[in-house]
Amino acid sequence: MIAAQLLAYYFTELKDDQVKKIDKYLYSMRFSDETLLDITQQFRRELTKGLGRDTNATAALKMLPTFVRSIPDGSEKGDFIALDLGGSNFRILRVKVSHEKKQTVQMESQIYETPEDIIHGSGTRLFDHVAECLGDFMEKQKIKDKKLPVGFTFSFPCRQSKLDEGILVTWTKRFKANGVEGMDVVQLLNKAIKKRGDYDADIMAVVNDTVGTMMTCGFDDQRCEVGIIIGTGTNACYMEEMHNIDLVEGDEGRMCVNTEWGAFGDDGRLEDIRTEFDREIDRGSINPGQQLFEKMVSGMYLGELVRLILVKMARDGMIFEGRITPELLTKGRFETKHISAIEKSKEGLSKTREILCKLGLEPTTEDCIAVQHVCTVVSFRSANLVAATLAGILLRLKENKGVTRLRTTVGIDGSLYKMHPQYARRLHKAVRRLVPDIDVRFLLSESGSGKGAAMVTAVAYRLAEHSREIAETLSEFRLTIEQLLEVKKRMREEMQNGLSKTTQDSATVKMLPTFVKSTPDGTENGDFLALDLGGTNFRVLLVKIRSGKKRTVEMHNKIYAIPLEVMQGTGEELFDHIVQCISDFLDYMGMKNTRLPLGFTFSFPCRQTSLDAGILVTWTKGFKATDCEGENIVGLLREAIKRREEFDLDVVAIVNDTVGTMMTCAYEESTCEIGLIAGTGSNACYMEEMRNIEMIEGDVGQMCINMEWGAFGDNGCLDDIRTEYDRIVDDFSLNPGKQRYEKMCSGMYLGEIVRNILIDMTKRGFLFRGQISETLKTRGIFETKFLSQIESDRLALLQVRSILQHLGLDSTCDDSIIVKEVCGAVSRRAAELCGAGMAAVVDKIRENRRLDHLNIAVGVDGTLYKLHPHFSKIMHQTVKDLAPQCNVKFLLSEDGSGKGAALISAVGCRMRQELNNK
């Protein structure tokens, strides 16, 4: 017993001693975490360099775009063929993806040999051989009559400008078929298939084995966004944000980038960590100075590294008593598979002895321990270096996503990772140490790059199919110039119907006279009160207008709430509350004893009989006060002032917000004769010739017409451009069949149109993995402000995803792209329809004045116009296209409903004065 313990103690001491000696000898191959983190940072800088258009040419990492834009989302289905060419064996697979209860994959494959004379012959012979094997496989599968989608795993460096193209940069792995470098391998294969003429194939994707690995694992785990190969060679790919990839047009979404990381360090970046053994390996390789990182970490070189170290140690008398055999001096005799055998925990030492004996050596136990530790140092260094570069990719993903903690999956393949007993564990441990705030799952690729090629094809097939159907759905929102001209023409007809006495009753566009007969001329002067009632809040304003050389408008205001019980009580209670608020404001301003002129912005449908008389047609926006509809609103206000007996006011004008907007801008710009609201609602007004307004006596001068154009189309004249989504929104609105034009182009409804499209697309499996969330079912949840945010050019897709997540929609990157596209289609149509309406107005004014060319300004207000990133630009362009003889300037209104009401009162007072002076 004691003897056994002594022996074990001796052995442990011996082992520790040898390990210390080797560690000292190979200290330059052992890295601290500080060194590894420095390598990570250097690698990250190289990633950025490789992605930049101006820096890519000199970058060691080529960062090749693969045009794979999406990982599997679980909805793929179909029958696919995969070709896998990357070595002396060539594999063909048939991959069936089905959806019965859950997604399943069936695979049948066959391996074909690629003879040496074909590998080193002509490119034509090589691709004829591939086409012949594919024909044989299809014959055996009895699918020669079908045109199945094909994915091609071609594991050689290629440049791509689309998914179904691969221009071979250079042959590697002993392949030397001439006439292929610089050519598109898909074209060469298609040519060979066509030449045979006995079957057809649709090659949809060409990918390399790293991308294939990521896609294979992505099928099982949708978090997988990195693929790594650690085998004979090494490489990595990952999903990069499109806006970071300068080499490819477009900013939307993500694309898989093939890093070709084996070349990391080719620019001298790794010189300080390369050893004399690495330099010797490189000198003896077929590509000196290239793939330096790969030569430090991959299976092709690790065995040779160990052999060179053993030779030097023997020469230095550290092992084998200084003996060196011819076998030990023979390049390639110590293989990477030997390292895997030697490092096995139980039989490692006996395997070491066996391998060394085959090299003609007679090793002692000390020698075996030393050799085992050399293998450990070399393979450990490889795992650490791969961990450092992988950490660089993971940190980039974390930064791209803007998260504090990243959860992701890395798909991994390769003989070194799979066969070495300790490699995977060491790699995982090192990665977790270097990036502690990233949760990484490592997923072993089961069926390799062949299934991956089929998955890329399945995803491409799904995206192409979805893309086509989505484009078809959204094409209904893309109006042609002819359709817009037709909308303009119909708007003109409806305007005419509203102006004519005989058709006014049945007209949908009511063209209401406002009795505002002039825009400001700059001589307006005085203090005016303005009231603004249009919702649950009520504003009282004092507006001081000063004329002269330096015209100024000074405003003071106070906001008052209108309680629900007042909104829905009696008319008397409502107007008593309004007068109570005015009284409080006059006290606040110290102006109780002054009889001020007052303008009342009353944003409810009214039929005016004079500037200071407006009959309420109907309450909207939740108001239900009794005894008001059919009554003169100004009369109700005057009676309430009289009842209070505290102050007196001169009510000069009742106006709506559209007219107020025009007046506000006309005060600054004399050519402004049109007002437009493009916000929650939509409306327009303009200065019409009195001779055309048949409802009003008199032919001289002009009057502002409140068009109430939101009702355009209520007679069915827009039915040919309304979509099923417009009909759904209309059917479920508070006023079905009314305000149809407004429902197609105003802020209150755009979000709801988008929500209905998203529900339909989700049902059809294009979005959110076909899962309709409760949130998406909620009417009104998708507010128009979200359209403005989502369509912002400055907003990355990541932020789009966070908006959707805030709405309870768990979206992928692809979902975000589609949602953005839907929002764009809906808001573009809204802006174009609004532009078509405005084109009708400006052209009418031009024709009224019998001008060849009209210069005019439009005062605009409304959140949609102000806040949406593209609405105004698209609307301006539409007006320009549809009314080319009009030069239209758009001015943003500042407080049309307050300042505008005061200006209308000022103009009303001025005109009253002028009339009295006559």
CA neighbours closer than 13 Å in the CB half-sphere of residue 323: 13
Give the position of tokens 């999406």.
Answer: 70
Two tokens at 523? 């001589």
Residue with tokens 């949406």, as numbered in its chain: 868
Q: How far is CA 262 from CA 230, 307, 579, 751, in A?
A: 10, 22, 80, 49
Counting beta carbons within 10 angstroms of the beta carbon of residue 540, is it exposed (0 to 12), middle (13 to 18) or buried (19 or more)? buried
Tell which residue, 506, 482, 882, 483, has the closest CA to residue 722.
483
- What is the DSSP secondary-structure string of 591-632? -TT--EEEEEEE-S-EEEEETTEEEE----TT---BT-TTSB
Q: Beta 254-258 vs 64-65: how paired, if at all?
A: antiparallel
- Which among 344, 343, 345 is positioned nearest to 375, based on CA atoms? 343
Q: Which two tokens stand for residue 199?
A: 């079957």
717: its two tokens: 């004249």
- H or E stretch at 159: strand 158-159
Strands 438-444 and 406-413, by their bridges, are parallel
Q: Are 827 and 752 in contact (CB under 8 A)?
A: no
Overall residue count recorded for the chain in this entry = 918
Query: Measured between alpha carbons, how far is residue 253 from residues 400, 803, 820 in Å?
Result: 12, 16, 11
- Residues 335, 416: Cα–Cα separation, whole Å: 12
> Which residues are catalytically annotated?
539, 603, 657
DSSP alpha helix (H) spans, 500-654:
564-567, 571-589, 633-644
CA distance 381 to 386: 9
Cβ-count burial 283-306 (b if 16+ within 10 Å, e if not): eebeeeeebbbbbbbbbbbbbbbb
- In angstroms, the CA 236 to CA 8 distance is 44
Side-chain half-sphere exposure of 232, counting CA atoms within 13 A: 6
Q: Which helix (H) or strand (E) holds 840?
A: helix 813-848
Exposed, middle or buried: residue 431 (CB in 10 Å: 0-12, 13-18, 19+)?
Answer: buried
What is the residue whose two structure tokens read 């998203």? 758
Tokens of 178: 């001439």
Judged on CB neighbours under 10 Å (0-12, 13-18, 19+), 804 is buried
Core vs surface per residue 373-403: b (16+ CB within 10 A) or e: bbbbbbbbbbbbbbbbbbbbbbbbbbebeee
Residues 127, 128, 134: CA angle, nearest 5 degrees: 90
**Residue 538, token pair as written in the block:** 């009520």
